[in-house]
Amino acid sequence: LQTNSNDQRTMKLNILALPAVFLGVEAFAPSPLPQQQSSAFRKQSSPPSKLFALNTYARTKWNPRGPSTSGFGSATATSVPYDAIRAELKLLMDNPSWDDGSLAPIFIRLAWHSSGTYDAATGTGGSNGAGMRFATEAADPENAGLEVARAFLEPVKRKFPSISYSDLWILAAYVGLEHTGGPMIPFQPGRMDHPDETYWELKNMSYGRLPAAEKYCCPHLDDSNVSSSLDETGKVKGWEGLCTHVRNEVFYRMGFNDQEIVALLCGGHVYGRCHPNFSGYAGPWVEYPTQFSNE
């Protein structure tokens, strides 16, 4: 966090808080639902020593609050009613019209995708700016479907115009985590919105900063030909290239280590489901896609 760049400081505060959230979670079964839980998802408690190490690591390595708020955007904490906005966001979370009855997963995805363009070396990208409001960044194939999340948050923005879109998207994810059984993350305000999308060219931005699920893998094949897409060990052909993409081209670029990459990828995919019209895939990753857990 030793930088005077608003973009860099803002980015570190929001994306690096998320691995700490998932690294610190204890193994637990979600609250029982009327249906019987599948034995495939029953979890074993980790050894106390390992949990202690992870919790200690999370507390000491990351500080979600970061440094003082001086130097952040023009809106101050006293001029924006964050408590009222939190309360309004909580009213939105349970929505039977969307997926599994919760908007929390898609708000979390919006926050991550707005943050995941960060480049530590140049200080470009990240959630500061809310560039997905404009056509160029919104058209990134990895952002397909996020217009839904942005539309659900528009009434909140209209009711509380003093909050930036950049702050609103991140705060919505924090409230979503809390509402679904996760921890309450102290919120660091001050992100400023881009006035237009000239930043895209001025900062030499381009597609490819977000992780692509099948990059360097074999082309998608239908079920009848799936065996031809696997190597002799049963792995999808090209998986080595995908690993290189995820580690070197995406997360190392942002300053993550391997443990943090696993925490963010696995923790994030506990939430929500895939949509064929957005990604080509269908269905949830886990049995309870609206509950905070390490399932």
Higher pLDDT, 19 or 163: 163
Percent of the chain having pLDDT more than 70? 70
Structure tokens at 281: 């895939």
* CA–CA dist 253, 32 (Å, integer): 40
Average pLDDT over residues 267-273: 89
- Predicted local confidence at residue 87, as pLDDT: 96
User: Given CA atoms 270, 272, 277, 278 in this order, what sign does their dihedral have?
Assistant: negative
245 in catalytic set? no
* Mean pLDDT for all residues in the chain: 76
Instruction: Render pLDDT for 196-229 as a digit per residue (tens, 0 to 9).
Output: 999 888 888 887 899 888 888 866 555 566 667 7
Q: Pick the catalytic residue: 62, 112, 113, 179?
A: 113
Instruction: Render pLDDT for 1-41 as a digit per residue (tens, 0 to 9).
Output: 223 344 444 444 444 455 555 554 443 333 333 333 333 32
Taking phi over 0 as left and psi of -120 to 50 as alpha, with beta for the rest, 129 belongs to left
What is each CA distance from 138 to 132, 237, 242, 278, in whole angstroms?
Answer: 5, 30, 23, 13
* CA–CA dist 185, 20 (Å, integer): 10
Instruction: Render pLDDT for 176-194 as a digit per residue (tens, 0 to 9).
Output: 999 999 998 899 999 999 9
pTM of the predicted protein model = 0.74
Higher pLDDT, 76 or 61: 76
- Predicted local confidence at residue 182, as pLDDT: 92
- DSSP assignment string, 217-253: SPPP--GGGGGGGB-TTSPBTTHHHHHHIIIIIIIHH
* Beta-bridge partners for 283: 274
Burial of 271 (0-12, 13-18, 19+ CB in 10 A): buried
* CA–CA dist 173, 108 (Å, integer): 4
Instruction: Render pLDDT for 64-88 as a digit per residue (tens, 0 to 9).
Output: 333 333 233 445 556 899 999 999 9
285 in catalytic set? yes
- Predicted local confidence at residue 78, as pLDDT: 61
